[in-house]
Amino acid sequence: MIRLMLAGALLLGSLELAAAQTTLRVGDQKGNAQAVMEAAGQLKDVPYKIEWKEVPAAAPLLEALSAGAIETGLVGDAPFTFAAASGAPVKAIAAIRQTREGLAILVPENSPIRSFADLRGKKIATGRGSIGHQLILAALEKSGWSESDVQIAFLAPSDAKIAYTQGSVDAWSTWEPYVSQEEVLFKSRRIITSEGLTPGLSFQVARPDAIRNKRAELTDFIRRLTAARAWSLNNVDSYAATWGRLMNIPTAVPLNWLSRAKIRIAPIDDGVVADEQGTIDLYLRWGLIKQKLDAAEIVDRSFAGAIAKAGL
C-alpha cells in the first residue's frame, strides 16, 4: 500500500513537473485576458508558463495562430468566421458574451452626422472581416442599402485612428477599448451600436494541435479565465485599474468600457452555434466568404466542463 502511494506521489510529481516545463502561447488584444486574470489573482501558481503576445486586433492574432506563433487567443465572431472560411487551423473552444454597446460606429464630437442614415455616401474606416465590418454590413442590410451606399476604408486600428483623427474618413466602426478611448478622451459620439444587429459574440480560439497536445493547459487556462471574468463583474474598479496600468491608459477609459460590457465566459452550446451560424450566413450573403460553413464543425464543445467548474 505504501509502495503504491509512493509510486502515485512520484507519478503526480512527474506530471506536475512536466506541466511546469510546458508553455502555453496566448495572443491577447490590448491586455484583455492578461489584465483581468492578473487583477483577479488567477495568474498565481499556474503550473505551466504562459507566454503572452500582445496584438492590436483579431486579424494579426489569427495570423499568428495560423503561423503557429501562438496557440490560443480571443477574437470576435466575425474575424473568426473569416479565418475559418479561409481554412485556417482554428477552433472556437469557449464563447464570450457581453452587451453590444461597445461595438459602435463613431463620429467626431463636432460632426453633423447624427444617425446611420446620415452616412450615405460617407467614408467609414474599419478592418476588413472585423466585427466593425460586420456591424457596417448588418446596418446596411437593416437599412436596405447596398455596400456601394457607403465608402468602406479597410484599415488596421492604428491607421484607422490616424485617418479618423485627421478627418480623412467621416466615421470609424470599431470595438472596445477603442470606442471608450475615443468617447472618454476625445468626446467622440456613437451614432449606432450593434444592439439588435449582431450577436455581440467573441470566442476563445485554439489551434487543433494545441487542443490535442495541450488540453490540460488549455482547460486550466479556460477555467482561470472564466473565474476571472466572473470576478470582474463585481470588481470593475480593480479590473479597470489593472488594465489601465498595463496599457498605460487613464483608468476612466476601462471604467467606461467595463462598467457597461458585463463580459462573461459561456460554454459552446446550441445558442452559441446558432449565433455563429448567423454570422456565417451574413458573410455569405455579402460575398465575404464563398462557401457556406457549418458552425457546428468549427467549434469544440469539450471545454464546457472547465467553464462549469469555474462556477458559472
What structural domains does the chain harbor?
Answer: 20-97+201-241+262-309 (3.40.190.10), 104-193 (3.40.190.10)
Separation between Cα atoms, residue 310 and residue 312, nearest integer Å: 6
Query: What is the tens place of the pLDDT at every residue in 235-278?
Result: 999 999 999 999 999 999 999 999 999 999 999 999 999 999 99
**Which residues 6+ apart lie within 8 Å of 2 measured at CB?**
none
User: Strands, E, within 33-136: which ranges?
Assistant: 49-55, 72-76, 91-97, 104-107, 123-126
Phi, psi torsion values for 61, nearest 5 degrees: -65, -45
Half-sphere exposure of 220 (CA within 13 A, CB side): 19
Residue 31's pLDDT is 82
Residue 21's pLDDT is 76
Residue 6's pLDDT is 35
Mean pLDDT of 205-229: 97
Residue 310's pLDDT is 82
| pLDDT grade for 169, boundaries at 50, 70 and 90 | very high
Half-sphere exposure of 183 (CA within 13 A, CB side): 22
Residue in this structure with the C-alpha cell 457556406, named with its chain if needed: 292
Mean pLDDT of 270-292: 95
Query: What is the tens place of the pLDDT at every residue in 66-96?
Result: 999 999 999 999 999 999 999 999 999 999 9
Percentage of the chain lying above the pLDDT 70 cut: 93
Mean pLDDT of 15-20: 47
Helix (H, G, I), strand (E, B) or coil at 109: coil
* In the predicted structure, residue 113 carries a pLDDT above the cut 90: yes
Residue 19's pLDDT is 45
How buried is 128 (Cβ within 10 angstroms: 0-12 exposed, 13-18 middle, 19+ buried)?
Answer: middle
* In the predicted structure, residue 294 carries a pLDDT above the cut 50: yes
Amino acid identity, residue 282? L
CB-based contact 90:65 (threshold 8 Å): yes
Percentage of the chain lying above the pLDDT 90 cut: 88
| pLDDT grade for 285, boundaries at 50, 70 and 90 | very high
Residue 4's pLDDT is 41
DSSP bridge pairs for 28: 54
Between these two residues, 17 and 279, which has the higher pLDDT value?
279
